[in-house]
Amino acid sequence: MLEAINLTKYFTQGLLNQKTICAVENVSFQVPPGKTLGIMGTSGSGKTTVAKLLAGLIRPTAGQIVYKGTVLSELSSAQARLFRSKLQMIFQHPSLALDPRQTIVDALLEPLFVHKLIDSRRQGLAKIDSLLHLTQLSADILPKYPWQISGGQAQRIVIARALGLEPELLIADEPTAMLDVSIQAQILTLLNDIQRQTGLSLILISHDPDVIRACADRMIGMEEGKVVMNGIPAAILPPSDGLFALRNTLPTYNTGGL
């Protein structure tokens, strides 16, 4: 469904002594429908840059992103806008993604109005009801402000908001990095459940091999902007050290090859 071909991104830094930083170089991968690609790597290896390239937040220096057979750089701006709504991204700081002055209900309604998916507040509330159900949240949360809810609840709201736009692909960039270990497992299980129910494709970015092993059908490992591993996590990652045995808390249906 989505393919990255030799994606490359250089950044230029500095005003006087300009320096070129190679953030991502010749990165290629595929994400088939309904499957999860894990992207693993240490800090600074280029994971977030790949995510930003896919989401269209930055332009590649070279390489192509092909979505359902169409090269994204060749899309008209209207087509590109449609694609963007089909690809949503969530980040590691859910509280930063929510406006502290906006109630949760308004945070969920706003993108639905912006993308013209609803005509009225009433229609929006019906849609929100199903989003809360999908993300296993209670309606009690709707009148609250982001600072009145927990980090785990905030991440569920961010996921619900992204799902409201009916994406076909969700990029989750370290979605559990800021959460307690027990909540991390809940959020990853939730993403797995949602994928099973909706057929969503996922790109899950994490520095944690246990997270990748538990959730991804296939993975790439990155180092200094390049792909250094590519394959099925169980086959290419070393066995878990058991310190964070997330694997045992998640369903095991997600182990089929691609």
Ligand X SMILES: Nc1ncnc2c1ncn2[C@@H]1O[C@H](COP(=O)(O)OP(=O)(O)OP(=O)(O)O)[C@@H](O)[C@H]1O
How is 58-126 classified by DSSP, letter by letter?
S--SEEEEEETTEEGGGS-HHHHHHHHHHEEEE-S-HHHHS-TTS-HHHHHHHHHHHTTS-SSHHHHHH
We find the least distance from the C-beta atom of residue 93 to ligand X, in angstroms, to be 11
In terms of phi and psi (left: phi > 0; alpha: psi -120 to 50; beta: otherwise), the region of 41 is left
* CA dihedral sign of residues 179, 58, 163, 138: positive
* Closest to ligand X by CB, 67 or 91: 91
Residue 153 touching ligand X (CB under 6 A): no
We find the least distance from the C-beta atom of residue 212 to ligand X, in angstroms, to be 13
We find the least distance from the C-beta atom of residue 45 to ligand X, in angstroms, to be 4
Binding test (CB under 6 A) with ligand X, winner from 32, 34, 44, 151: 44
Residue 43 touching ligand X (CB under 6 A): yes
Q: CA 192 to CA 251: how far, in whole Å?
A: 8
Q: Which helix (H) or strand (E) holds 245?
A: none
Site for ligand X in 192-221 (CB under 6 A): 207
Residue 13 touching ligand X (CB under 6 A): yes
Residue 164 touching ligand X (CB under 6 A): no
* Closest to ligand X by CB, 9 or 218: 9
Q: CA 161 to CA 128: how far, in whole Å?
A: 9
We find the least distance from the C-beta atom of residue 217 to ligand X, in angstroms, to be 21
Instruction: Name the site residues for ligand X (rule: CB under 6 A).
Output: 11, 13, 21, 23, 41, 43-49, 207
